[in-house]
Structure 1
Amino acid sequence: MTDLATLTRLCPPPDPPMAIRWDAVEARLGMPLPQDYKDLADLYGPGAFDDYLSPYHPHGVTEFVNLIGPMPGRIREQLRRDRERGSHPVPHPPDRLFACGVTDNGEYLFWVTDPAGAPDRWPVAVNEARGPRWFTHEGTLTSFLVGVFRGTVSVPLFPRGLAGPRHRFVPSRPTLWKPGPPVATTSVDTGQIRSWARARGYDVPPRGRVPREVREAWERAHSETAS
């Protein structure tokens, strides 16, 4: 059984599947993409697994989860600065890291794009939200998701309780957004997001996941400030 078939048994996809012009997507990115990811994106579309983990998608409904939007470039620029300054460890060359997902706590998922011409061999890396820790999975994005949901891949950066017999995928609701040029931004830890949200009347828990609507509101506010 393939990893995608296992994932669909753990977490049924929505209907119907999407038809994505992958030749146009890859041309815009200037690189090939892993076949497992293309199959995953076709089948599930844009959205989030367990209201926590959102793979980037060519039809992501906001710039913050769009594979061909500005976020991969912004994040890569931040990693370059982190490495140059020595402020946070970056175990892989930043130019070899391409962001392919995000969690509600602010961890980013990356493809380690080495070798460049063999995307089906790219491992998946995860970094702590503005912290020093990294985790690398020597496998595809789909096998990573299967492992996390089955409990065979333990990511110290993720909260407990992601493994289990049942999971859900929630498709994203389209919203209007205007993609702009890539702008380097500095991400912050969840404590700063919680403080910002409480000052504006949001109800946020002191620990655990930052609610999706709070994180997206923070990202929108800081994106507008940067522009």
Structure 2
Amino acid sequence: MSAATDVDALLRLMPPPQDGGTAIDWEVMARSWGRPFPPDYRRFIEEYGAGTIEDFLVIDAPQLNVPLEEAGLDGMVQETMSAEGVWDMAEKSPELEETSPRLISWGVDAAADLMCWDASGEDPATWPVLVFNRSDNLFRRYDCGMAEFLTRMMRGSFPECPLEDDTVWERGEASWEKR
């Protein structure tokens, strides 16, 4: 479901920064979270770094899984805590009813929608994307990795836009700003 080569399609739709992405000690990150990160996310960060698509959709940098007061109020730890906080109160699409996924957030948009992995499985290459659409108060599952999810968003190849706002939906191409 998630392969480093999935980033190749994104490279054609969204040019990476000229100075490249960010080098990460993935072994340290894996120990911190108790599991490795998906291969497409690792390659995405190495190609792009953290930043925003169309000044709308934020892709978080990997961050050590530490208490919030150490992590800060902006990033993967905070957004993961936000996703965990809304999980019990939110509605779920039928395939998510009666499940208790291990959530790890990798993105958020300007409409406060959250994009996470269901990191319950042992193999991060098989983790699906879960999206919390804040306006619908609904979690939905997408059986693809993060890079394929972004590519399908830009191409408009889901039955409908998974996010509240369609800024990235059906764009075909997008701009990236590293932060």
Read off the aligned partner of 1:8 and give its amino acid letter. L
Match for residue 12 of structure 2 among 9, 12, 21: 9
CA RMSD, 1 decimal: 2.3
Judging changes above 3 Å, is the alpha-carbon distance between structure 1 residues 64 and 136 closer, same or farther for their aligned structure 2 residues? farther
How far is 1:126 from its partner? 0.6
Of Structure 1 and Structure 2, the greater strand share is in: 2
Identity %: 24
Indicate yes or no: 2:39 matched with 1:35: yes
Per-residue deviation at 1:89?
2.0
Residue identity opposite 1:88 in structure 2: A
The TM-score with structure 2 as length reference comes to: 0.79
Query: Residue deviations 1:150-195, cap 9 Å, x none?
Result: 11123243323522232101112xxxxxxxxxxxxxxxxxxxxxxx
Structure 1, gaps ≥5 residues long: 173-227
Q: Distance in 1 between matches of 2:109 and 2:75?
A: 14
What is the correspondence of 1:196-207 to structure 2 with a 5 Å cutoff? none
Q: Taking structure 1 as reference, are residues 110 and 59 closer, same or farther at Cα in structure 2, changes over 3 Å only?
A: closer
2:174 paired with 1:167: yes
Preserved CA contact (<8 Å) 1:65 1:101: no
C-alpha deviation, 1:59, in angstroms: 5.9
Residue 35 of structure 1: how far off its partner (Å): 0.8
Aligned match of 1:88: 90
2:164 paired residue among 158, 163, 188: 158
Partner of 1:206: none
Q: Does 1:66 align with 2:75?
A: yes
Change (3 A) 1:152 1:64: farther
* Matched residues, number: 162
Give the distance between the partners of 2:11 and 2:29, measured in 1 at CA: 24
- Measure the CA separation in 2 of the matches of 1:165 and 1:38: 23
Distance 1:79 1:45, change over 3 A: same
Tell me what 2:154 maps to.
149
Cα 1:20–1:171 change in 2 (3 A) is same
With over 3 angstroms needed to count, the CA separation of the structure-2 counterparts of 1:18 and 1:161, relative to structure 1, is closer
Matches of 1:70 and 1:161, distance apart in 2? 24
Is the Cα–Cα contact under 8 Å of residues 55 and 65 in structure 1 kept in the other structure? no
Letter of the 2:79 partner, please give it. M
Q: Which of 13, 19, 33 is equivalent to 2:23?
A: 19
Query: Is the contact between residue 134 and residue 164 of structure 2 (CA under 8 Å) also seen in structure 1?
Result: no
Q: TM-score, normalising length from structure 1? A: 0.63
Distance in 1, Cα, partners of 2:171 & 2:58: 18
Secondary structure (helix, strand or coil) at the match of 2:42 reads: helix
> Larger C-alpha radius of gyration, 1 or 2?
1
Task: Tell me by how many angstroms 1:5 deviates.
Answer: 1.1
